[in-house]
């Protein structure tokens, strides 16, 4: 019957199933099909029995779950090789010691993997413990003692695996508590620092330069903490502290000078009062002598005394006026010097809200700008767009050209962006190679068009590095904030759109 078509063989097979009153199962159909076709039937594949076995196998960890799925797939495909591989892999994750339902850490993952408790593997565990200890502090002496005992055991020539397993379990248990304590201590200390900073800021509302310094400290102590952020803030704060000390010294000098000037002014007033009193007495005496004079000869000396007293009074008045004008000039000069120092402190403090590399706003400055723009948009009933852009292949640029080139590329992007922005737009460095652009009074389609124009401008203004042109591209997401949406929600939507732009080819701008 080999010359029959498959459809004819199939019809004959169904007829034979009915004649023999067999259930139309795949196995029965396969056997009769090969009988009608005159071909050799394949070996029987016990699918139902294998599915029952797979149904009772445990799936207590991700490894077991994965290989159980592979086993079911192999059964469906009637693949003995797939069943064998799945069972071998499952056994590696399911081998347990007697009386224990958890896989042993010393059990090999597969028969071909070999034993894991080699000297090299144990040395890696020892180094891992030693490297982790500094991050966990020195408060728990018992924990440190356990760690040292375990490290010494791991480095012995012949390791007692049973004892090592017990010590590893005890160490892991105590490690969980120590790590949790250190995490809580760190979080509590940061919270206390924020409380101190915020309290100082509330007490110094009039000192804008000090408020900027406090804002920088709060920003630096806000997770996630990085050494680079701390170093940048430390450098800026050193400048602020230097200016603060200089202003404090000048203020003390000005205060002492003002006290001296005030004392001189009071002395001068006292002398002027004495001179006025003496002059007044002299004039009264002259008036009395004039009334009593009988001849012109008697008036001559009286007039001379009056003229001399008047000249002396005029001289004293002129000298007092000159002294007072000199004191006024010194006072104005001191005030101008203090005002100049305060302006300089305000300028340095404002830098605490800017990224020192690109000159764009940092996260602290961005938070303030977003809240300001949201308040303005809601008050005026206008639109506000927020764009989040990320430089494409920035890690490769750093690896190929160096970190200095990466920093220069970030600065180049910021400069080109500022050239394309409107005066009312705001640029901020969100972190790493990410930037945020605030676009007030802008709808979503216009925001997307603005970022697209910026992309075209970057293709015209190449980034030059060692006489080599480097094309910088970015992927961006743009979100138009709704009336009841927060800044965090807007950034999240823009970030999701930017992620899709990255995944769909990069160098794209998508709305969120």
- The three-state secondary structure class of 18 is helix
Query: CA 290 to CA 80: how far, in whole Å?
Result: 145
Query: CA 112 to CA 108: how far, in whole Å?
Result: 8
433 carries an active-site annotation: yes
- The three-state secondary structure class of 307 is helix
Q: Pick the catalytic residue: 433, 443, 445, 457?
A: 433
CA-to-CA dists, residue 300 to 293, 295, 504, angstroms:
10, 9, 113
Query: CA 507 to CA 512: how far, in whole Å?
Result: 16
Q: What is the DSSP string of 250-271?
A: HHHHHHHHHHHHHHHHHHHHHH
- Consecutive H or E run containing 470: strand 468-470
Residue 353 burial by CB count (10 A; 0-12/13-18/19+): exposed, middle or buried?
buried
Q: Name which of 452, 440, 438 is nearest 510 in CA terms.
A: 452
Query: CA 328 to CA 321: how far, in whole Å?
Result: 10
Contact 150, 171 (CB under 8 A): yes
Query: CA 462 to CA 68: how far, in whole Å?
Result: 54
Query: CA 289 to CA 298: how far, in whole Å?
Result: 9
Query: CA 430 to CA 418: how far, in whole Å?
Result: 16
Beta bridge partners of 468: 465
DSSP state, 362?
A: -
- SS3 for 433-444 is CEEEEEEECCCH
**Hey, what's the torsion of the CAs at 491, 492, 496, 499, to 10 degrees?**
60
Radius of gyration of the chain from its Cα atoms, rounded to whole angstroms: 44
DSSP state, 222?
A: S
Residue 442 burial by CB count (10 A; 0-12/13-18/19+): exposed, middle or buried?
buried
Query: CA 25 to CA 197: how far, in whole Å?
Result: 77
Query: CA 254 to CA 258: how far, in whole Å?
Result: 6
Please provide residue 470's backbone torsions phi and psi, each rounded to the nearest 5 degrees.
-120, 120
Please provide residue 422's backbone torsions phi and psi, each rounded to the nearest 5 degrees.
-80, 160
Query: CA 366 to CA 374: how far, in whole Å?
Result: 12
Active-site residues: which are they?
433
């Amino acid at each position: 019957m080999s010359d029959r078509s498959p459809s004819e063989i199939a019809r004959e097979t169904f007829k034979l199933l009915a004649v023999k009153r067999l259930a139309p199962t795949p196995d029965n159909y396969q056997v009769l099909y090969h009988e009608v076709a005159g071909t050799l039937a394949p070996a029987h594949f016990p699918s139902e029995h294998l599915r029952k076995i797979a149904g009772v196998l445990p799936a207590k960890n991700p490894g077991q779950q994965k290989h159980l799925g592979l086993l079911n797939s192999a059964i469906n495909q009637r693949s003995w090789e797939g069943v064998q591989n799945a069972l071998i892999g499952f056994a590696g994750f399911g081998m347990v010691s007697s009386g224990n339902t958890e896989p042993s850490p010393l059990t090999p993952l597969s028969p071909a993997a070999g034993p894991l408790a080699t000297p090299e593997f144990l040395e890696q565990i020892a180094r891992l413990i030693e490297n982790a200890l500094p991050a966990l502090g020195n408060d728990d002496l018992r924990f440190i003692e356990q760690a040292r005992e375990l490290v010494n055991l791991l480095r012995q020539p012949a390791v007692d695996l049973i004892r090592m397993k017990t010590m590893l379990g005890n160490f892991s248990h105590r490690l969980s508590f120590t790590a949790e304590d250190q995490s809580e201590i760190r979080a509590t200390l940061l919270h206390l620092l924020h409380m101190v900073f915020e309290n100082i800021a509330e007490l110094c509302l009039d000192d804008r330069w000090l408020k900027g310094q406090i804002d920088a400290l709060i920003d630096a102590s806000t997770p996630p903490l990085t050494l680079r952020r701390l170093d940048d803030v430390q450098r800026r704060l050193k400048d602020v502290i230097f200016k603060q000390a200089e202003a404090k010294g000048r203020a003390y000098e000005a205060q002492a000078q003002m006290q001296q000037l005030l004392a001189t002014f009071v002395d001068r007033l006292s002398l002027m009062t004495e001179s006025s009193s003496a002059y007044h007495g002299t004039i009264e005496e002259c008036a009395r002598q004039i009334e009593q004079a009988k001849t012109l000869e008697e008036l001559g000396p009286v007039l001379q005394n009056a003229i001399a007293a008047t000249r002396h009074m005029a001289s004293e008045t002129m000298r007092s006026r000159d002294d007072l004008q000199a004191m006024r000039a010194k006072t104005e000069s001191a005030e101008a010097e203090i005002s100049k120092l305060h302006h300089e402190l305000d300028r340095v403090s404002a830098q605490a809200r800017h990224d020192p590399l690109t000159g764009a706003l940092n996260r602290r400055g961005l938070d303030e700008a977003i809240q300001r723009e949201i308040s303005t948009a809601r008050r005026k009933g206008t639109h506000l767009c927020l764009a989040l852009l990320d430089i494409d292949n920035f890690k490769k640029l750093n690896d190929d050209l160096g970190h200095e080139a990466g920093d220069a590329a970030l600065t180049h992007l910021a400069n080109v962006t500022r050239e394309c922005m409107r005066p009312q737009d705001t640029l901020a460095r969100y972190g790493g190679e990410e930037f945020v652009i605030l676009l007030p009074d802008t709808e979503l389609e216009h925001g997307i068009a603005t970022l697209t124009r910026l992309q075209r401008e970057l293709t015209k203004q190449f980034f030059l590095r060692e006489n080599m042109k480097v094309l910088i591209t970015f992927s961006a997401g743009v979100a138009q904030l709704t009336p009841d949406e927060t800044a965090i929600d807007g950034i999240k939507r823009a970030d999701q759109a930017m992620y899709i732009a990255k995944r769909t080819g990069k160098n794209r701008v998508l709305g969120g």
